[in-house]
Structure 1
Amino acid sequence: MNAPHPMAAARQQLYADMAPLNLTPLWEVLHALVPRQPDTPCVPALWKYEDVRPFLMRAGQAITAEEAVRRVLILENPALRGQSAVTQSLYAGLQLILPGEVAPSHRHTQSALRFIVEGSGAYTAVDGERTTMRPGDFIITPSWTWHDHGNDADEPVVWLDGLDIPMIRFFDAGFAQNDESKSQAVSRAEGTSFARYGHNMAPVRHDAPFGKTSPIFSYPYERSREALDRLERDAPIDDWDGVKLRYLNPLTGGSPMPTMATFMQKLPAGFAGKPWRQTDGAVYSVVEGHGEMLVERGGMQWRQPFGPRDHFVVPSWHTARFVSGPGCVLFSFSDRPVQQALGIHQEERLS
C-alpha cells in the first residue's frame, strides 16, 4: 500500500480554503481540459426510418403544426439525452408537415438546413420566396430570415432539420421572433434566387442577400445526383469517400452556411472504403441504396447496416469507414466551417 503524499493534507486544505472565492486548481483537471486527443462524450447512433416513421405519424395525430410551431422529433445522441443535441455542437430532428398544414413564420439567429426525406409538394418560404420541396433537395433557412413551411400536396412530407442550436447556445447568442402573420407574403417568383446565383453567374451590382449565408437557399437533388453520376463514370473513385462533393456558397466558394458544411456523396456498387477520422462529427441521411458503417474508438466497435431514409451520426475522432454492395447516396452535414475558421480542424485518412 502506497504511503499518502506528504503534501496531500496541505493541498486538500488549500482547496477547501480557496473554494469560497470560486478558485479551483488547474493541475487537478489539466489532463481532462487538454486531452492528448479529442475525447468526445458522443457515441455513434443510427435511427432506422422504419422505426421512427410511426412515431412521426402519431405526432401528426397528437399535435398540429401550428400548435407545435415545428412538429419535430429530435434525434438525440444517446450520450447527450436531454440536451437536444446530436453532437455537442449540432442539432438534428425529423419534421413532419401534413397536407393543408402551415408551420407558422418566425425567425431566429440559428442557421438551419432542411434535407427532404419523404414526400413532394410542400414548400419552404424564405424572405418572400418559396421553393417546392422534393426528396433529396437541400434547403437553407439563413440566420435571422423569416421562414415558414406549408403543404399544398396530398401526402405527408418529412425532412431532416439540421441546426447549430448547441453552438449558438454555447455563445449565449440566441434570439427568436414570431411573425405577425402565419404565412409571409410571397414577393418573388419561385426560382428567382437560383436564376440570379445558381449558374456560375451573379448580378453585376448586388449585396449578399443573406450575409455570410449562400444567396441560393434551395439546391435541387436532380443537379447533385447528375454531378455524382458523371464523376462516378468519368473520374477516379476516392478510396475513402467514393465520389463526394461539398455544397458551395457561390459568392465565396465556402460553405453554404457559416456554421455548417453540407456534402453529398455516392458510394459505387462494391465499394469497400478505407478508414478515416475527423474532428468534425457528422450527421448522415441515406438518400438511396444500402450500405454499412463501421466505426471504432478506444477498442469499442460499432457496425450497422443502413438503408434509404435512415439517419446516423459519426462523432468526432471516431475511426470510420463505409462499405456498400449495391451502392448508395449519402447526404451529410457537420460543423467543419467553424473548425476551419478557428484553425483547429484535423482529419486523417488511414490505410
Structure 2
Amino acid sequence: MTQPSSTPEQRKDFYDRLAPQNLAPLWEVLRGLLPNEPKSKAAPHRWRYSDIRPLLMESGRLLTAQEAERRVLVLENPNFAGMSRATSTMYAGIQLIMPGETAPAHRHTPSALRFMLEGEGAFTAVGGERTTMRRGDFIITPSWAFHDHGNEGSDPCAWLDGLDLPLVSFFEAGFNEHYNDERQSIVRPEGDALARFGSGMLPLAPVERYGQTTPIFNYPYERTRAALVAAAKGEGPDAHEAVSLRYANPIDGGWAMPTMSAWMMHLPKGFETAPMRSTDGIVMALGEGALTAKIGDRSFDLTERDVAVTPGWTWRSFKATQDSFLFCFSDRVAQEKLGLWREERGPAH
C-alpha cells in the first residue's frame, strides 16, 4: 500500500477552501455515486383498500371536487414522507368522485393513468371524447391533453391514479393549465378511439393524436381479462411472470405511454412465481382475486383493490390463493429508452 501523500489536516484545509468556490472532491463521494448495484431508497409497502376507503369517503364529506380540484389521497411511500412518491419515480393516489360531481377540466405535462377500483357511473373525458369508467379499466390521460372527470351514477366512484410526476419534477418540466369551463366540449362519440385503434384494425393513415402516447385512452377490463384467460389456456404460465400482457400502443406496438409502462398479470389459483427483480420500481393494484406478494424480506397478503409497491432491484414473487389479476405500472419504458433497464431471474421451482 502506498503511503498517504498528505495528512488529514492538510486535506481538511484543502476541502475547506473548495467549498466557498462551490467545488467538491469526487474521490470522497465516488463510491456513493457509482454503487456496485442499485439500492432503492423506497420501501416495500402495502395499502389496504379496506383501511383507505373510510378515510376516502370522509374526504368526500369534507370538501367538494371543485374545492379540491382533484380529491385524492396520495399513497406516500414510508421512506418518502411528504414527497408524493409511491416509488422513487412514480406518484400514486386514490381519487374519489361523488355522485353528481365534476372534477374540473385541466391539462398538465405529467402523463397520468387510472385503474378503476369502485363504483358505476364515472366517466373521463380526454381530448374531446368521453369514456365510461368500469371496474378494472385502464384509462390514460396523455401529457398536455385536457381532461375532466365526472360521476353521473348514484354511488361514489374511486380509482387508482398513477403519474410520472417525480420524473417530470426531476427534469423541472412541469406545466399546468385550466380549461375555460368545468367540462370540455365533446367532439367525438364515446368509443370512437377504441373503434378506430383498438379492434385489431387501424385507419389507413393512422394519426398519432397524442404524440408518443397511444390514441386509445380506455383499455376495458372485460377485454383484458378475456385475453389473459385465453392466453393461459394456450400456454402454461411463465415461471416468473405467470401470464402477463402489456397494454400496447397500436401505432407502433410499443408501450402505451412514453414514460410509464403498464401491464396486467394473471395468476391462476395455486400458482406461485419464481423470484425476479428489475431496476424499475413497480406500483401494483389487485383488481381481482387474492394473493401473497413477497417483496424483499417482507410478505403481504393482497385482497381486491389493495395497492402495493416493489422498489427497484428488489426481489419479488407472488402466490395466488384465488384466480388473480394484478395491474402493474412502472417507469420501465423510460429506463428502456435510456438503456438502463435490467432484470434478473431467480431459479424456477
Q: TM-score range by the shorter chain?
A: over 0.9
Task: Report the AA paired with residue 54 of structure 2.
Answer: P
When residues 244 and 140 of structure 1 are mapped into structure 2, their CA distance, relative to the original with a 3 A threshold, is same
* 2:315 maps to which of 312, 316, 319: 319
CA distance in 2, matches of 1:129, 1:205: 20
In the TM superposition, what whole-angstrom CA distance separates every residue of 1:217-252 from its partner, at most 9, and x where no partner exists?
010000000011111222121111211111000001
Does residue 149 of the first structure (1) align with residue 149 of the second (2)? yes
The equivalent residue for 2:334 is: 338
Does residue 229 of the first structure (1) align with residue 225 of the second (2)? no
RMSD (Å) for aligned C-alpha atoms: 1.2
Task: Report the AA paired with residue 343 of structure 1.
Answer: G
The equivalent residue for 2:9 is: 9
The equivalent residue for 1:288 is: 288
Give the C-alpha shift of residue 6 in structure 1: 5.0
Does residue 42 of the first structure (1) align with residue 42 of the second (2)? yes
CA distance in 2, matches of 1:315, 1:193: 34
Task: Report the AA paired with residue 334 of structure 1.
Answer: S
Alpha carbons 2:278, 2:344 under 8 Å: kept: yes
Normalising to structure 2: TM-score of the pair?
0.97
Q: Secondary structure at the match of 1:271?
A: coil
CA distance in 2, matches of 1:151, 1:196: 26
Give the C-alpha shift of residue 208 in structure 1: 0.6
Provide structure 2 residue ranges, at least 5 long, that are not aligned to the other structure: none
Give the C-alpha shift of residue 56 in structure 1: 0.2
The equivalent residue for 2:205 is: 205
The equivalent residue for 1:158 is: 158
The equivalent residue for 1:132 is: 132
The equivalent residue for 2:277 is: 277
CA distance in 2, matches of 1:15, 1:316: 34
Give the C-alpha shift of residue 314 in structure 1: 0.3
Q: Secondary structure at the match of 2:148?
A: strand
Provide structure 1 residue ranges, at least 5 long, that are not aligned to the other structure: none
The equivalent residue for 1:123 is: 123
Give the C-alpha shift of residue 201 in structure 1: 1.7
CA distance in 2, matches of 1:318, 1:176: 34
Give the C-alpha shift of residue 7 in structure 1: 2.0
CA distance in 1, matches of 2:142, 2:7: 56
Where do 1:55-74 residues align within 5 Å? 55-74=55-74
The equivalent residue for 2:306 is: 310
CA distance in 1, matches of 2:63, 2:25: 50
Task: Report the AA paired with residue 159 of structure 1.
Answer: W
The equivalent residue for 1:244 is: 244
CA distance in 1, matches of 2:42, 2:300: 17
Q: Secondary structure at the match of 1:210?
A: coil
The equivalent residue for 1:267 is: 267
Task: Report the AA paired with residue 141 of structure 2.
Answer: T
CA distance in 1, matches of 2:172, 2:133: 32
Give the C-alpha shift of residue 327 in structure 1: 2.6
In the TM superposition, what whole-angstrom CA distance separates every residue of 1:281-300 from its partner, at most 9, and x where no partner exists?
1000001111101122xxxx
The equivalent residue for 2:324 is: 328
Query: Identity, % of aligned pairs?
Result: 49
Alpha carbons 2:56, 2:73 under 8 Å: kept: yes
Give the C-alpha shift of residue 8 in structure 1: 1.0
Task: Report the AA paired with residue 8 of structure 2.
Answer: A
Task: Report the AA paired with residue 135 of structure 1.
Answer: R
CA distance in 2, matches of 1:180, 1:115: 27
CA distance in 2, matches of 1:275, 1:206: 40
Equivalences, count? 345
The equivalent residue for 1:183 is: 183
Name which of structure 1's ranges 206-215 and 96-105 shifts more when overlaid on structure 2: 206-215
CA distance in 2, matches of 1:340, 1:20: 39
Alpha carbons 2:206, 2:251 under 8 Å: kept: no
CA distance in 2, matches of 1:305, 1:350: 22
CA distance in 2, matches of 1:43, 1:114: 23
Give the C-alpha shift of residue 5 in structure 1: 8.9
Normalising to structure 1: TM-score of the pair?
0.96
